[in-house]
Amino acid sequence: METRTPRGFHDVLPDEVRRWQFIEDNARRIFDLYGFSEIRIPVLEFTEVFARSLGTTTDIVEKEMYTFTDRDGSSITLRPEGTAGVVRAFVENSMHAKSPVSKLWYSGMMFRHERPQKGRYRGFYQIGAELLGPEDPASDADLIAMVWKFLESIGLSDRLTLEISSLGDQRCRPQYKEKLVAYFKPEADRLCPDCRRRLGTNPLRILDCKEEGCRKIAAGAPKMMDNLCGECAAHFGAVREYLGSAGVPYTINPKIVRGLDYYTRTVFEVTTNELGSQNAVAAGGRYDGLVEELGGPGTPAVGFATGMERLVLLHEKAHPGGFRREIKVFIAYVGEGTETAAFRLTAALRERGVPAEMEYGGKSLKSQLKRADKSGAVYTFIIGEDELSRGKVKLRRMETSSEEEVDIEAAPALSF
């Protein structure tokens, strides 16, 4: 038997999980503040949900999905991202009919068969949010402002850069694609084989290629930002104005393309230069055609996702230490009949809301105190036969090793 995780998967151990919870708690709090409700969706969908949403010629769909045939012959895929599933749920549950605006957030594990590196896994956690209904640029800005507020709330915003751009829409993008093809065609021989293929299938993806040669050629390519139609340019201008008035610091990066086909108009990325090549911490954008693509009524939408592992890595760097679970009181005991008294005292402490932990099995007092110390306990009760017979218990202050006797009956009510 293999007693290890498959490559690219990892455990989050108890020592680290406090930091995860801190980040998750803040996400929940901030999303609540912005009027978003949590939605929980399955970790898998019919493969078609992702193929139709992400685009069949994207890296994820072409080579990163965990896909298998179910017992009934249907093709199932472990979710590589959250948006497609949320939109599927939006359509399936006719959410558009219940409210003109749906604000949903989710969190959970995503699966992509990538080459694992620090900050890049095959199983990783994302938190994301989707705002469905409005086309208004205020909704783009509101969502981006929320992302920034969340990153501020966990003390990371001063280490991050927010970049925005616009990818245009179905009116201006086709012309832009033609321009791209015209630009890349004479360079086709110098492109990687993937990009040579993309030239015919999805030329926008060439801009996203990680190959050095392709990146050099792509650097001089025409930019979507310079080719927006009037409506898209006006929309982008308004997003910028709202972001400015919300005090969100952003820069414009016309090179953002995003790895998925569903994006239209506003796109954004939050990056850091502290995590090597895994520099993307959060990303998102508008996807006005996706709901319809998945069989719902034409519904504009904008959303984002952030990678938990990268947030955690960055948070550890920015704020080392301080995330251990700490127990307030430890209960040690030595001698006949003391274990039952310890059990009762521990329960009484917890009843009063004091985090307490007892020894199991009664080793030597020395080893019990060692465990108490390790647990981070501020106080330790020591129950001995002699004290117990007098209705007393020793209270040891761990920092100073000073001890005093207190009434065992009154012990749970002490202020710790």
Site size for ligand ATP (CB under 6 A) = 18
With respect to ligand ATP, which residue has the nearer C-beta, 263 or 381? 263
Nearest approach, Cβ of 299 to ligand ATP (angstroms)? 21
**Closest approach of Cβ 366 to ligand ATP, in Å?**
45
Q: How far is CA 33 from CA 29, 138, 244, in A?
A: 6, 16, 20
Helix-, strand-, coil-residue percentages of the chain, each rounded to 5? 45, 20, 35
d(CA 131, CA 104): 6
Site for ligand ATP contains 27 (CB under 6 A): no
Determine how many CB atoms are found less than 10 A away from the CB of residue 159. 16
The single residue listed with the structure tokens 């761990």 is 398
Residue 112 contacts ligand ATP per CB under 6 A: yes
Query: 260 vs 341, which CB is nearer to ligand ATP?
Result: 260
CA dist 22 and 112 (Å) reads: 26
Distance CA 169, CA 166 (A): 9
Kindly indicate which of the ranges 33-41, 91-99, 112-120, 228-236 contains the residues binding ligand ATP, using the contact rule CB under 6 A.
Answer: 112-120
What token pair was written down for 278? 């895994």
Residue (139 or 306) nearer to ligand ATP, CB:
306
Binding-site member from 52, 96, 120, 396 for ligand ATP (CB under 6 A): 120
Judged by CB under 6 A, does residue 121 bind ligand ATP? yes
Tokens of 356: 């307490």
Q: Which is nearer to ligand ATP, 124 or 379 (by Cβ)?
A: 124
Helix, coil or strand: residue 21: helix
Report, in Å, the least distance between residue 63 CB and ligand ATP: 12
Q: Rounded CA gap, 382 and 78, in Å? A: 52
Q: Which is nearer to ligand ATP, 282 or 301 (CB)?
A: 282
According to the binding rule CB under 6 A, does residue 156 interact with ligand ATP?
no
Nearer to ligand ATP by C-beta: 150 or 330?
150
Residue (27 or 349) nearer to ligand ATP, CB: 27
Among residues 236, 181, 186, the alpha carbon closest in space to that of 204 is found at 181
In the chain, the amino acid numbered 204 is L
Residues 276 and 8: their CA atoms lie apart, in Å, by 18
Q: Give the nearest distance from C-beta 126 to ligand ATP in angstroms.
A: 5
Return the residue of 22, 50, 124, 262 that touches ligand ATP, per CB under 6 A: 124
Between CA 146 and CA 103 the distance in angstroms is 12
Q: Quick one: tokens of 91?
A: 């359509």
Min CB(161)–ligand ATP separation in Å: 13
292 binds ligand ATP (CB under 6 A): no
309 binds ligand ATP (CB under 6 A): yes
Residue listed under structure tokens 């080392």 = 320
Residues that bind ligand ATP (CB under 6 A): 81, 112, 114, 120-121, 124, 126, 259, 278, 280-283, 305-307, 309-310
